[in-house]
């Protein structure tokens, strides 16, 4: 019988897009999610888009009994682990939550996987593990550091995976370091649904474009970048989801825990992002310059060549597509969720 793929956090922003791609590719999928940052209607939307069913278990990844139960009930061949907390600012206020959810959640998952003889993992890491890089584009062998509890929790998990993989053979772990995921499913049915005031540029900008917020504050225009604003590697979430499928497929050929950048390799400034979204929405988007946000870096974009070599993956969707799909979601999808 075909083995199943366990997707923790499969109802979230990146997880939901990945589950659609997995189902479309014919995988048997078990989603485990505590729905702390996702609406239940996402599950029906995934089923509708893929035109296939999957198993859903409402449980926290920190709940060891539920994890064991999942591995008892299903023949899990590999795990794609998204479940975790992801807001940098919040992590400085609630470090215990971040270490428990992210680190302890992964520790319990790895122990359970080991107990059931499953050693194939695709992990959601982040470009945040590069700290403030000395140069760009960023390659996987650059030094690692963290400046906040969220970043530290990702780095600790990476270290845990590396130590585990060197302690015994057989582990195949892809540490996928995401750059800045944006956009939404082209159907307008899946997307990012930030609770409260968005922290990240694109969700905030989309709300300003829709008239839900008066203007965007650009966090600093005195960085050593072409227009003085921060430069990032924005990546369409559907491309990112496909990167997970490519990683899953490539796992048998990986040795130990292997970090892989998932980015486009192109950097855009905050002002370029505003202009791109203005082209999409067809009207000016109000913005003003404010002070730098503490902890922000000037430039962050990937050297994506390892992903191409090891996974045969590269991003294919451009900035206009990211804006179009993000705007479509903002107008049609987000509000109709329940």
Q: Which residues are catalytic?
A: 150
Q: What SS3 state is found at 142?
A: coil
Question: Which token pair is 210?
Answer: 């829709």
Binding track over 218-257 against ligand UFG, x by CB under 6 A:
xx----------x-x-------------------------
How far is residue 276's CA from residue 67's CA, in Å, rounded to a whole number?
Answer: 43
Per the document, the length of the chain is: 338
Q: Judged by CB, which is closer to ligand UFG: 203, or 333?
A: 203
Closest CA to 239 of 175, 184, 276, 279: 184
Give yes or no for residue 116 binding ligand UFG (CB under 6 A).
Answer: no
Query: For 183, phi and psi rounded to 5 degrees?
Result: 80, -165
Stretch that binds ligand UFG, among 6-14, 157-165, 196-204, 276-284 (CB under 6 A): 196-204
Question: Which token pair is 76?
Answer: 């899990």
Out of 97, 217, 272, 278, the residue judged to bind ligand UFG by CB under 6 A: 217
Within residues 266-305, the interface with ligand UFG by CB under 6 A covers 270, 293, 296, 300
Stretch that binds ligand UFG, among 12-20, 71-79, 100-108, 125-133 (CB under 6 A): 125-133
78: Cα within 13 Å, side-chain hemisphere? 22
The partner residues of 228 in beta bridges, in order of sequence, read: none
Question: Which token pair is 325?
Answer: 């799909």
The partner residues of 76 in beta bridges, in order of sequence, read: 4
CB 227, min distance to ligand UFG, A:
11
Give yes or no for residue 199 binding ligand UFG (CB under 6 A).
Answer: yes
Query: For 51, phi and psi rounded to 5 degrees?
Result: 55, 35
Nearest to ligand UFG by Cβ — which residue?
230
The partner residues of 236 in beta bridges, in order of sequence, read: 182
Stretch that binds ligand UFG, among 31-39, 59-67, 216-224, 318-326 (CB under 6 A): 216-224
CB 79, min distance to ligand UFG, A:
21
Number of residues that bind ligand UFG (CB under 6 A): 21
Binding track over 81-110 against ligand UFG, x by CB under 6 A:
-----x-x----------------------
Q: What SS3 state is found at 194?
A: coil
Closest CA to 222 of 136, 133, 272, 296: 296
In the complex, the residues that contact ligand UFG under the rule CB under 6 A are: 86, 88, 126-128, 151, 180, 199-201, 204, 216-219, 230, 232, 270, 293, 296, 300
């Amino acid at each position: 019988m075909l083995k199943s793929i366990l997707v923790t956090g499969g109802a979230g922003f990146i997880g939901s897009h990945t589950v659609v791609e997995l189902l479309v590719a014919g995988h048997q999928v078990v989603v485990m999610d505590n729905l702390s940052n996702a609406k239940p209607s996402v599950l029906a939307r995934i089923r509708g888009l893929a035109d296939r069913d999957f198993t859903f278990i409402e449980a926290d990844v920190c709940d060891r009994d539920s994890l064991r139960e999942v591995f008892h009930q299903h023949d899990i061949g590999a795990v794609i682990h998204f479940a975790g907390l992801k807001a940098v600012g919040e992590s400085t206020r609630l470090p215990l939550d971040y270490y428990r959810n992210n680190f302890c959640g992964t520790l319990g998952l790895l122990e359970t996987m080991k107990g059931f003889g499953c050693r194939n993992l695709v992990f959601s890491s982040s470009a945040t593990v590069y700290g403030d890089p000395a140069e760009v584009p960023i390659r996987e062998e650059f030094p690692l550091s963290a400046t906040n509890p969220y970043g530290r929790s990702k780095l600790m998990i990476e270290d845990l995976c590396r130590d585990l993989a060197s302690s015994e053979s057989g582990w195949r772990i892809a540490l996928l370091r995401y750059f800045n995921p944006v956009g939404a499913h082209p159907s307008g049915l899946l997307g990012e649904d930030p609770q409260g005031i968005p922290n990240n540029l694109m969700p905030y900008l989309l709300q300003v474009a829709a008239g839900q917020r008066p203007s965007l504050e650009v966090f600093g225009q005195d960085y050593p970048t072409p227009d003085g604003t921060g430069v990032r590697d924005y990546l369409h979430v559907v491309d990112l989801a496909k990167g997970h499928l490519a990683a899953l497929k490539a796992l048998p050929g990986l040795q130990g825990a292997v970090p892989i950048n998932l980015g486009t390799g192109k950097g855009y400034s905050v002002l370029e992002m505003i202009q791109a979204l203005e082209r999409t929405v067809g009207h000016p988007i109000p913005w003003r310059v404010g002070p730098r946000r503490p902890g922000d870096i000037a430039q962050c974009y990937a050297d994506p060549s390892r992903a191409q070599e090891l996974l045969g993956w590269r991003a294919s969707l451009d900035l206009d597509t990211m804006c179009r799909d993000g705007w479509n979601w903002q107008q049609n999808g987000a509000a109709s969720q329940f």
